[in-house]
Structure 1
Amino acid sequence: MNRPWLTHYERGVPHDFTGEAMTLPQLLGRAAERHAARPALDFLGHRQTYRQLWSNARHFAAGLQRLGVHKGDRVAIMLPNTPQFVVAFFGAALAGAVVVNTSPLYTAKELEHQLIDSGAKVLVMLDSFYPRFAEIEANPAVQVQHVVVTGIQDALPFPKNRLYPLLEKRKGQFIQVKESGKVRGFGHLLAPQHTAPYEVQLQPDDVALLQYTGGTTGVPKGAMLTHRNLVANAQQAACWMPELREGQEVTLGAIPFFHVYGMTVAMNLSLLIGANIVLIPNPRDLKMVLGAIEKSGVTLFPGVPTMYNAINNSPDTPRFNLKSVRACISGSAPLPAETARKFRELTGGANLVEGYGLTESSPITHTNPVSGEQRPGIGLPLPGIDASIRNDQGEEVPAGEVGELWVAGPNIMAGYWQRPQDTAHTIREEGGVRWLLTGDLARMDEDGYFSIVDRKKELILVGGHNVYPREVEEVLYQHPAVLEGAVIGVADAYRGEQVKAFVVLKPEMQASEAEIIDFCKRHLSPYKAPRRVEFRGALPLSAAGKVLRRVLADEEKANAAALSAGY
């Protein structure tokens, strides 16, 4: 296969990926051997060394086994970025269980669907989330036998662990969950009644994680990610950054670990290289994020465009020293060029590059060189990943032409949980290679740099012309008053569809609909410019910080239906 991108790899990035086949417990165990006394987790000033993390994960595994968890059982984890998440994740893996990542943002109904679909036997959750489970636990289809409850205070040292509940009570937010036959405290599982878990024979190709897709294009499906998938993708990311210093880096753990991007880049990659992870339970707490970067000397800052954009426009940012940051990989959503430019300027040259991936690929497949030549778009395939642009007939198209992006590599999922038909539509076997059909429209230039044009299903057709939302959004972000922007296609009797923009303005900035439309017309072909602009206080975001165009489209359709019905 022709791989023009290899000639543009940075010095030190291997052309051939020779990652070591490991399980997740082996990854953490090796880190504990190499970096036993180094801090692994830093949570609000309380540190846990690699030796302590390994010990706690083993105690937790033994605790799960005392509850009757066997190899292949599903353990759902519904926690923000706290030490308990990391302990529970690797403890479940050590016990041979399959982790089910569960978003803390889920409603009771969404939680119910995921627990039923996965058949989770154990649910590990924050105490404040428990009322949502209480709403659905009577449903006989929910198979949860044990609920393990923990609180933020459980990860804090004295006296913070005593003060935190008092502060939450004053806010009316403290929820105390009493232990019962079904409900256990997190500390109960950590009790060293058995110092070591029963040995479970794990193989790299065993399923380690059910990671549910966002559901923006249908009912959420559980991508089956194996130990090999997850470890390989962390190794591929490490290969991409040859300047990483083992045992010396400090990672900002702000993007959610329950999302596969945060899990791979902020958690697993960090453990692979012995980094200290500074945990941020709420990534929207910008002062906490900025303070953590300055105080801990963060060197790696994986994030999402909304985070970088917020830092760019926060009046608090100039008060903090962000110079320690060396590398930032932005994922989960397109990175506007203007956001990247301003962030680099603000931090004194921190390398902020756009990456790309999918839940089904563990997730990273592409990113721009961190120190090498960067071009607009998602950059180059990582070592060990093949990529191809195909037409609707599955034929490869020439460089520069738009088609669907196909990817292959050791990080591609085993399939969708209990959905063989969906798997067959997404995975294509060809010449002994398992290709993942991404559903994204993309192009590759002659040098092997890729750029995403847009989601195949979010293409807007204006009078027969293709309009890619991302292209319009890039222009919106260039307007000096625009903080965030998104566009969708709405029905138009004459053109079939027209472009509508949703815009959030920067604080204390003003702009009219006509001004925004005129600005876009000066930078885009007339048919691409929005014909309508709606100003909002915020845009709907996924848990990973991705703007949900599908939610905007559904709202627009509902409004149109209500209008036609005379409401």
Structure 2
Amino acid sequence: MEAWNYANLWESVARAIPDRPALIHGDRVIAWGAFSARADALAAHFVASGLAQQSKVAAYLYNGPEFLETYFAAFKAGLVPFNTNYRYGDDELIYLFDNADAEAVVFSAAFAEMAAKVRGRLPKVKTWICVAEPGFTQPDWADDYDAIVAAKAPADFTAPWGRSADDLLFMYTGGTTGMPKGVMWRQEDLFKALGGGANLLLGLPPLETCAEAGARAAASPDPQITIPVAPLMHATGQFISFGSLVGGGTIATLTGRRFDPAALFDEVDRIKANGLVIVGPAFAAPMLETLEAHPGRWTLPSLRRIVSSGAMWGAENKNGLLKHLPHIMLMDSLGSSEALGLAGSTSGGGATAGTAKFMAGPNAAVFTEDGRRVEAGSGERGLVAVGGHTPVGYYKDEEKSAKTFRTFEGRRWSVPGDWATLETDGSITLLGRGSQVINTGGEKVFPEEVEEALKRFPGVRDAAVVGVPDPRFGERICAVVDCAPGVTPTLAELSAHVKAHLADYKAPRELVLAPVGRAPNGKLDYKAIRTRALEALGQAAG
């Protein structure tokens, strides 16, 4: 039996449906056969450049066909692809590429200037490959991506060392509270953690062989078209795209470099997309604002689902989206790069899941810090954990690996740090990430729950909550709030609003009205937000 390796799975699909679209990017359409052939040529180039078994390949790219082709090529050649945050500066890039032991970098011409700054300090990199970008010059020191993928290579290219279910993928995560960490996923574990090819929407069980992926794709008359609105460099967009491709689906990427909800809705209509992948309010809030501003302009009859993970998605926003698009399902997943399948919720069909309310996954549990299982309905706070197929650990970081991947009840669990309570019905109420908790007068406050309360205030578009120094209570709660034009709530108004939903001690005692600013992956950089808040309040960062 073929190993559970994404190259084997996607090649099975490509052989079965070579003429169906695999990738769409504006007017560009790449069929499955071409997708595999282009990846064959790139894989051959990697090996000819001196890369060896499990050498590391950086994808320093915007969303587009080249991102997934780079990963496909790495999988074919038995290499380790990893994501690159394209907002990083030179020192951060050098840290990332050095930490990952990168030997190949595939980058957009838009990043050529930055790549030129760092390449002299990265002697391990054997090949720099530039993807053409309108308006940008390709450097003469880099190989041309288009020329490489146009070359002939053996079909279903395989390096001399072959492929394995143990072949790795790195997902670099974090960076808001420290340097990024490379989550090491075995391909078999990642594939099975993502459902093993099962499709709940179509009622299909997990695959039994790689060849079955192709057979299913050929038997499906209506392939699904998914648009990862979130960056493919983020686990949410990347992993859901992997699953869609295993099912013989099509991944369509937006050509714009800034999120434009109107352009997104126009593209959904143009290509008749069925699914969107977002990361919570960074995408959902402007989507709702655009629908509200243009009632009836888009009905999006082809759209069936919007999937989100990685950031808390408020019930108010979900209700608003369903008001305009009552035929779709909103699927909210609780998970992280190192913990898939913690819990999930679904809204639609007349029902909306509450904010931070999820049904626990089959391999999920809640434990106290000392490893005691939290009883359902006890009200006790604990850490959400998931067992089953989990990552190997963090690359070159045994200390952090030991903190996240822990043994409870004689079993290995991934414990990413999310605090929650377990309700009597088996649902999980998410409280927030322990690393951001605010200690005010001995009371612990999770920023996420206060943020969600603030976002219910009329006219509040986004909110972040941080702790600032307080001589009496140690810390006091500061709200950084981004409001719609013309909306200027006072601290007293917002504090009273929060007290109507939460305990009094969770209400903000400081207010900064300013754009919150989220990363492309939808996450908040609490360290940077706290620094800006202290500056606005006339305090020095401590």
Asked whether the two chains share a fold, i.e. TM above 0.5, the reply is: yes
- Pairwise CA distance, 1:271: 0.4
- Is the contact made by 1:39 and 1:276 (CA closer than 8 Å) also made in structure 2? yes
**Aligned counterpart, 1:185:** 144
Instruction: Name whichever of 485-494 and 366-375 sits farther off.
Output: 366-375
Aligned to 1:205: 166
Structure 1 pair 560/529, CA: closer, same or farther in 2 (3 Å)?
closer
> Which of residues 245, 250, 255 is equivalent to 2:230?
255
Relative to structure 1, the CA distance from residue 409 to residue 434 in structure 2 (aligned partners, 3 Å threshold; closer, same or farther) is same
CA 1:439–1:237 in 2, change beyond 3 Å: closer, same or farther? farther
| Displacement after TM superposition at 1:135 (Å) | 1.2
How many residues are matched? 516
Deviations 1:62-92 (A, max 9, x none): 1212212221111111111111111111011
**Pick aligned residue for 1:433 from 396, 411, 424:** 411
Deviations 1:111-151 (A, max 9, x none): 11111111111110000101111112222x54212110012
2:433 counterpart residue number: 455
RCO greater where, 1 or 2, for CA within 8 Å and sep 6 or more?
1
Letter in 2 for 1:225: W
> Using a 3 Å threshold, how does the CA distance of structure 1 residues 452 and 70 change in structure 2: closer, same or farther?
same
- Matched-pair contact (CA < 8 Å) for 2:3–2:164: no
The aligned counterpart of 1:351 is 329
Give the drift of 1:60. 1.3
Out of 258, 261, 278, which is 2:252 matched to? 278
Deviations 1:211-237 (A, max 9, x none): 111222322111111111322233358
Could you say if the C-alpha distance between residues 349 and 502 of structure 1 is closer, same or farther in structure 2, counting changes exceeding 3 Å?
A: farther
Post-superposition Cα deviations, 1:141-169, rounded to whole Å, max 9, x if no partner, equal: 542121100124xxxxxxxxxxxx4xxxx
- The corresponding residue for 1:409 is 388
What residue number does 1:144 align with? Answer: 125
Aligned counterparts of 2:499 and 2:359: Cα–Cα separation in 1: 32
Q: Does 1:489 align with 2:463?
A: no
Residues 328 and 348 in structure 2, CA contact (< 8 A), matched pair in contact too: no
Work out the CA distance in 1 between the residues paired with 2:415 and 2:394.
13
Question: TM-score, normalised on structure 1?
Answer: 0.85
Query: Given that residues 326 and 348 in structure 2 are in contact (C-alpha distance below 8 angstroms), is that contact kept between their aligned partners in structure 1?
Result: no
Partners of 1:193 and 1:525 in 2: CA distance = 66
What is aligned with 2:208?
none
Match of 1:326 in 2: 304
1:298 corresponding residue in structure 2: 273
Could you list the runs of 5+ residues in structure 1 that have no partner in the other structure? 1-19, 153-164, 166-173
Partner of residue 161, structure 1: none
Long gaps (5+) in structure 2: 205-216
Pick from 29, 38, 43: which aligns with 2:20?
Answer: 38
1:544, CA displacement in angstroms? 0.7
- Give the Cα separation in 1 of the matches to 2:298 and 2:313: 23
Contact 1:43 1:280 in 2 (8 A): yes
Question: Is 1:379 aligned with 2:358?
Answer: yes
Give the corresponding residue for 1:337: 315
| Cα separation, 1, equivalents of 2:412 and 2:102 | 29
Aligned to 1:160: none
Q: 1:469 is matched with which residue: 415, 423, 447?
A: 447
Query: Which position in structure 1 is the counterpart of 2:376?
Result: 399
Letter in 2 for 1:346: H
Going from structure 1 to structure 2, the CA distance change for 1:563 and 1:33 (only over 3 Å counts) comes to: closer
2:183 matches 1:223: yes
Residues 316/46 of structure 1: CA separation in 2 closer, same or farther (3 Å cut)? farther
Give the Cα separation in 1 of the matches to 2:490 and 2:352: 35
CA contact 1:481–1:505 (8 Å) conserved in 2:
yes
Alpha-carbon distance between aligned partners in 2 of 1:341 and 1:491, rounded to the nearest angstrom? 37
Query: How many angstroms does 1:308 deviate by?
Result: 1.1
Instruction: Give, in whole Å, the separation in 1 of the partners of 2:442 and 2:104.
Output: 51
Matched, 1:135 2:114: no
Q: How many Å separate the matches in 2 of 1:533 and 1:457?
A: 22
2:153 counterpart (194, 200, 222):
194
Q: Do the aligned residues in 2 keep the contact of 1:63 with 1:191 (CA within 8 Å)? A: no
1:390 aligns with 2:390: no
Shift of 1:548: 2.3
Instruction: Decide whether the 8 Å contact of 1:23 with 1:204 is kept in 2.
Output: yes
Tell me how far 1:424 sits from its aligned partner.
1.7
Partner SS state of residue 300, structure 2 = coil
Q: CA-to-partner distance for each residue in 1:385-423, whole Å, 9 max, x for gaps? A: 51121112111121132111121121x111111112221
Q: Which residue of 2 aligns with 1:309?
A: 285
